[in-house]
Amino acid sequence: MKKQDIDTPSIFHSHTNLLLSYTLFIVFFLVSVFSVYAHPLNEKVEKSVLSKYTIAYSKQENTITGTVLDSENRPLAGANIVEKGTTNGTQTDFDGNFSLEVSDLNAALEVSYIGFATKEVPIDGVTSITIVLEESAAGLDEVVVVGYGTQKKGNVSGAVSSIKGDAVNNVVTGNATQALVGKATGVRVEVNGGAPGAGSNIIIRGTGSLSNQDPLYVIDGVFSDNMDFLNPSDIESIEVLKDATASIYGARSGQGVILISTKKGKQNQAMRIDLDGSWGFANPVRQLDIMNASDFIANRQQAYANDGTTPPSNFNDFDSSIDSDIQDASFRSALVQNYGLRISGGGESSTYSISVNRLDQEGIVRASDFERTSLRLNTSAKKGRFNFTQSLFLAQSINRPNIVFGTEYGHLPISPILDTDNDGGYGAANTGVAGNTRSTNYLGIAELTQRENTNYNILGNIAGEYEIIDGLKYKLNLSINYNNGRNFTFIPTYFMSNSDVGLNPIADLDDYRSTFVSTIVENLLTYTKSFGEHNFDLLAGYSEQRDKTETIGVEVENFFSNDTRTINAGSDDVRRAGTLLPRNIRSYFGRLNYDYSGKYLFSASIRRDGSSNFGLNNRFGVFPSVSAGWNISQEAFFDVDFVDNLKIRGSWGKLGSDNLDPFQYVTALNITSQYVLGTGQQRSSGVAQIQFANPDLKWEETTTTNIGIEGSFLSGKISFSVDYFDKLSEDILANLPVNPTSGTNVSIPFNSATLSNNGLEFSLTHRNSVNEFNYSATANISTLNNEVTELGEGVNPITAGGFTDESFNSTRTEEGFAVGYFYGFKTNGVYQNQAEIDADNLTGRAVVPGDLRIVDINNDNIIDSEDRTFLGSPIPDYEYSLNLEADYKGFDIRLFFQGLGGNQIFNGKLFEGIFAQNGAKFEIAKDAWTPDNPSNTIPRATIADPAVNRQTTDLYVESGAYFRLQNVALGYAFPLDIIEKIKLSKLRLFINIENAFTIDDYSGYYPVIGRNISRGNTLFNRGVDENTYPTPRTITMGLQISL
Amino acid sequence: MLFAVIPSCNKDLLEVTEQNRLNPDVFWQTADQANSAIIGAYSPLGNQWGWGRMMNLFTTYRSDATNPIPFQGVTTDAANFSIEPTFGRLQETWGELWKTVLRANTILVEVPNIEDPQFSDEQRNQILGEAHYLRAYQYFYLVTLFRNVPLITEPALTLAEIKNGASDPELVWQQIISDLQAAQASLPETWDDANTGRATWGAATGLLGKTHLYRSGLENVNEYALAAAEFKKIIDSGLYQLMPDHADNFGNDKENNVESLFEIQFDDTGLSWGGDIINDLRTAAFEPDLAPPGYTSQSGLLINTWVRDAFLAEQTTDGQIDPRAFNTILWNEPGVMVYLDTFQEAFADNLNAVGCRKYLDFRDGKEQSDFGFAGTPSVINRRIIRYADILLLYAEALNEAEPNSSLALDALNLVRERSKMVPKAASDQATLTQQIRDERVLELMFEGDRYLDLLRWGMIPDVITDELKSNMGGSQYRPGREYLPIPQIEVDTNPLYEQNEGYN
pLDDT at A61: 63
Model confidence at A11: pLDDT above 80: no
User: Alpha carbon B319 to chain centroid distance?
Assistant: 35
pLDDT at A1014: 86
Measure CB to CB from residue A686 to each of B36, B98, B495 and give the nearest one: B36
Contact A623, A251 (CB under 8 A): yes
Measured distance CA(A485)–CA(A225) in Å, rounded: 14
Measured distance CA(B1)–CA(A1035) in Å, rounded: 54
Given an 8 Å threshold on Cβ–Cβ distance, is B43 in contact with A674?
A: yes
User: Alpha carbon B443 to chain centroid distance?
Assistant: 17
Measure CB to CB from residue B10 to each of A10, A683, A806 and give the nearest one: A10
Express each pLDDT in A209-243 by its tens digit.
988 778 999 999 999 999 999 999 999 999 999 99
Q: Is the dihedral of CA A407, A412, A417, A423 positive or negative?
A: negative
Measured distance CA(A827)–CA(A835) in Å, rounded: 18
pLDDT band per the 50, 70, 90 thresholds, residue A3:
very low
Identity of the residue numbered A355:
S
Q: Is A48 on the interface with B (CB under 8 A)?
A: no
pLDDT at A4: 38
Given an 8 Å threshold on Cβ–Cβ distance, is A807 in contact with B88?
A: yes
Q: Average pLDDT, stretch A493-504?
A: 91
Hey, what's the torsion of the CAs at B433, B434, B438, B439, to 10 degrees?
A: -30
User: Alpha carbon B469 to chain centroid distance?
Assistant: 23
User: Could you tell me which chain B residue has the CA closest to the CA of A664?
Assistant: B18
Q: Other CB atoms closer than 10 Å to residue B407's CB: what's the count?
A: 15
pLDDT at B374: 62
Measured distance CA(A658)–CA(B17) in Å, rounded: 18
Model confidence at A154: pLDDT above 70: yes
Given an 8 Å threshold on Cβ–Cβ distance, is B265 in contact with A584?
A: no
Hey, what's the torsion of the CAs at A190, A192, A194, A196, to 10 degrees?
A: -110
How far off is chain B from A541, nearest CA to CA, in Å? 9
Model confidence at A450: pLDDT above 70: yes
Q: Is A468 on the interface with B (CB under 8 A)?
A: no
pLDDT at B72: 64
pLDDT at A10: 39
Identity of the residue numbered A448:
L
Q: Is A735 on the interface with B (CB under 8 A)?
A: no
Interface of A with B in 369-388 (CB under 8 A): 386
Contact A414, A429 (CB under 8 A): yes
Q: Is the dihedral of CA B250, B252, B256, B257 positive or negative?
A: negative
Measured distance CA(A489)–CA(A505) in Å, rounded: 16
pLDDT at A36: 45
Model confidence at A13: pLDDT above 60: no
Q: Other CB atoms closer than 10 Å to residue A432's CB: what's the count?
A: 23
Query: What is the distance in angstroms between the CA of the first residue and the CA of the last residue of chain A?
Result: 60
How far off is chain A from B157, nearest CA to CA, in Å? 9
Query: Could you give the C-alpha distances from A1016 to A802, A814, A1013, A1019, B226, in angstroms and in order?
Result: 10, 20, 5, 9, 54
* Coil/strand/helix, residue A295: helix
**Shortest CA distance to B293 belongs to which of B69, B64, B67, B62?**
B69
* Coil/strand/helix, residue B418: helix
Q: Is B6 or A460 the better-scoring residue by pLDDT?
A: A460
pLDDT band per the 50, 70, 90 thresholds, residue A48:
very low
pLDDT at A51: 37
pLDDT at A5: 38
Express each pLDDT in A768-789 by its tens digit.
888 889 899 999 999 999 999 9
Q: Is the dihedral of CA B78, B80, B81, B82 positive or negative?
A: negative
Angle at A759 between CA A757 and CA A761, to 5 degrees: 140
Instruction: Kindly report the three-state secondary structure assignment for every residue of A973-1031.
Output: ECCHHHHHHHCCCEEEEEEEEEEEEEEECCCCCCCCCCECHHHCCCHHHECECCCCCCC
Instruction: Kindly report the three-state secondary structure assignment for every residue of B215-259.
Output: HHHHCCCCCHHHHHHHHHHHHHHCCCCCCCCHHHHCCCCCCCCCC
Instruction: Kindly report the three-state secondary structure assignment for every residue of A925-949.
Output: HHHCCECCECCCCCCCCCCCCCCCC
Given an 8 Å threshold on Cβ–Cβ distance, is A431 in contact with B271?
A: no
Contact B146, B69 (CB under 8 A): no
Q: Average pLDDT, stretch A432-461?
A: 94
Q: Which of A343-347, A391-395, B33-37 has the lowest mean pLDDT?
A: A343-347
Q: Average pLDDT, stretch A902-926?
A: 94
pLDDT at A140: 56
Angle at B297 between CA B291 and CA B302, to 5 degrees: 35
Given an 8 Å threshold on Cβ–Cβ distance, is A679 in contact with B277?
A: no
User: Alpha carbon B329 to chain centroid distance?
Assistant: 20
Measure CB to CB from residue B14 to each of A505, A611, A945 and give the nearest one: A611
Helix and strand element counts for chain A (H, E): 10, 51
- B495 CB neighbours in chain A (<8 A) are 794
Interface test with B, best of A676, A795, A865 (most B CBs within 10 A): A676
Contact A617, A695 (CB under 8 A): yes
Angle at A479 between CA B3 and CA A189, to 5 degrees: 145
What value does the mean pLDDT of chain A take? 88
- Which residues, given as ranges, of chain B have pLDDT below 70? 1-11, 72-74, 373-375
Which secondary-structure segment (H or E) carries B451? helix B450-456
Measured distance CA(A856)–CA(A858) in Å, rounded: 6
How far off is chain A from B486, nearest CA to CA, in Å? 11
* Coil/strand/helix, residue A4: helix
Express each pLDDT in A631-672 by its tens digit.
999 888 988 888 989 999 999 999 999 878 888 888 889 999
Model confidence at A941: pLDDT above 50: yes
Do you know the residue count of chain A? 1043
Model confidence at A46: pLDDT above 70: no
* Coil/strand/helix, residue B410: helix
Identity of the residue numbered B492:
D
pLDDT band per the 50, 70, 90 thresholds, residue A135:
low
* Coil/strand/helix, residue A290: strand
Measured distance CA(A739)–CA(A747) in Å, rounded: 9
Residue A314 CB partners (closer than 8 Å, separation 6+): A430, A432, A433, B294
* DSSP codes joined into one string, A409-468: T---TTS-SB-TTSTTSB--PPTTGGG-S----HHHHHHHSEEEEEEEEEEEEEEEEEEE
Given an 8 Å threshold on Cβ–Cβ distance, is B40 in contact with A687?
A: yes
Q: Which of A41-55, A541-555, A759-773, A977-991 has the lowest mean pLDDT?
A: A41-55
How far off is chain B from A54, nearest CA to CA, in Å? 40
Given an 8 Å threshold on Cβ–Cβ distance, is B159 in contact with A682?
A: no
Q: Other CB atoms closer than 10 Å to residue A968's CB: what's the count?
A: 19
Model confidence at A283: pLDDT above 60: yes
- B106 CB neighbours in chain A (<8 A) are 689
pLDDT at B11: 66
**Shortest CA distance to A157 belongs to which of A784, A527, A592?**
A592
User: Could you tell me which chain A residue has the CA closest to the CA of B295?
Assistant: A431
Q: Is A79 or B248 the better-scoring residue by pLDDT?
A: B248
- A467 CB neighbours in chain B (<8 A) are none
Which secondary-structure segment (H or E) carries A355? strand A350-362
Highest mean pLDDT among A309-318, A908-917, B125-134: B125-134
- B198 CB neighbours in chain A (<8 A) are 677
How far off is chain B from A643, nearest CA to CA, in Å? 48
Express each pLDDT in A591-601 by its tens digit.
999 999 889 99
Query: Could you give the C-alpha distances from A313 to A231, A302, A310, B301, B470, in angstroms and in order?
Result: 58, 16, 8, 16, 21
Q: Is A741 on the interface with B (CB under 8 A)?
A: yes
Do you know the residue count of chain B? 504
Q: Is the dihedral of CA A975, A978, A979, A983 positive or negative?
A: positive
Measured distance CA(A153)–CA(A649) in Å, rounded: 12
Measured distance CA(A185)–CA(A686) in Å, rounded: 54
Beta bridge partners of A278: A338, A1038
To 10 degrees, what angle do helices B387-401 and B406-418 make?
160
User: Could you tell me which chain A residue has the CA closest to the CA of B495?
Assistant: A794
pTM for the whole structure: 0.81
Q: Other CB atoms closer than 10 Å to residue A707's CB: what's the count?
A: 16
